[in-house]
Amino acid sequence: MTASSKAKGAHAPVKLVLASASPRRLQLLERVGLTPDLLNPSDVDEIPHKRETPRALSIRLAKEKASRALEMPLVKELGPNTFVLAADTVVGLGRRILPKAETIDDALDCLSLLSGRSHWVYSTVCLVAPGKKLSTRCVETKVRFKRLSREDVDSYIASNEWRGKAGGYAIQGRAEAFVRLLTGSYSGVIGLPLFETVSLLEGAGYPVFHSWMTAPQSEV
């Protein structure tokens, strides 16, 4: 790299990319005053490897999403001072990986397994900073459900909130009423652990607090 190209990179505007199509992750970022310059989802094969643990799957997929997004044309066009943020959330029962429920049978199976038991939610955030410096944090949250009645299950299935959700439920909706105990990160269960996300961005040099000062104030 020449001196002139270094200087050009040094003065390039700082940009933030969220490599996700999840409206929940975008809402969580905006909740803490961070608005991405680009939403650039990156599709990866989410099928677990043989004997892969829920935690390992979450970490691998978050890294793959970030790396894939980094090579996309729209991201490259933003310039050298671009931060790419990706995340993945996996629900595990022991070593068993619960699927993202796509059918009613998927959701029924998940709810049956989770009823009256504790499970773990593994939410990994991966940040690629300028210079392709990659860093990750995996947050483990323990969630215990009450014993679900038939009425609980039927009404939740009817809500359709389970569709496409890891473990067959969305904690930010009706399923929050099923949670007896949560130890860890509530935002991580939703899909993006905010404390770890902000810490990674701040540590990598992203102007988090400048973004906070310039972000529109939310109504109380």
* Domain extents in the chain: 3-214
User: DSSP 3-state assignment of 60?
Assistant: helix
Q: Does domain 3-214 have CATH number 3.90.950.10?
A: yes
Catalytic residues: 88
Write down the pLDDT at residue 11: 63
pLDDT of residue 215: 54
Of 209, 43, 64, 49, nearest to 126 by C-alpha is 64
| CA-derived radius of gyration, the chain | 19
pLDDT at position 10, please? 53
Local structure of 93: helix, strand or coil: strand
**Would strands 82-93 and 118-129 be described as parallel, antiparallel, or unpaired?**
antiparallel
**pLDDT score recorded for residue 90:** 98
Q: Which helix or strand (DSSP H or E) is residue 120 part of?
A: strand 118-129
CB crowding 201-214: b at 16 or more within 10 Å, else e: beebebebeebeee
Q: Look at residue 43 in the predicted model and tell me its pLDDT.
A: 84
Average pLDDT over residues 187-213: 90
The confidence score (pLDDT) of residue 156 equals 98
Angle between helices 23-31 and 194-204 (to 10 degrees): 70
Read off the pLDDT of each residue in 47-65 and give the average, rounded to a whole number.
Answer: 97
CA torsion through residues 143, 148, 151, 153, sign = positive
pLDDT band of residue 220 (cuts 50, 70, 90) is very low
**Tens-digit pLDDT profile for residues 132-181:** 999 999 999 999 999 999 999 999 999 999 999 999 999 999 999 999 99
Q: What is the pTM of this model?
A: 0.89
Per residue in 72-115, pLDDT (tens digit) is 999 999 999 999 999 999 999 999 999 999 999 999 999 999 99
Task: Reply yes or no on whether the pLDDT at 210 is more than 70.
Answer: no
Rounded Cα–Cα distance for residues 155 and 127 (Å): 38
Q: Give the separation between CA 17 and CA 35, rounded to whole angstroms.
A: 9
- CA-CA distance, 144 to 43, in Å (whole number)? 31
Tens of pLDDT, residues 6-51: 444 456 789 999 999 899 999 999 999 999 999 999 889 999 999 9
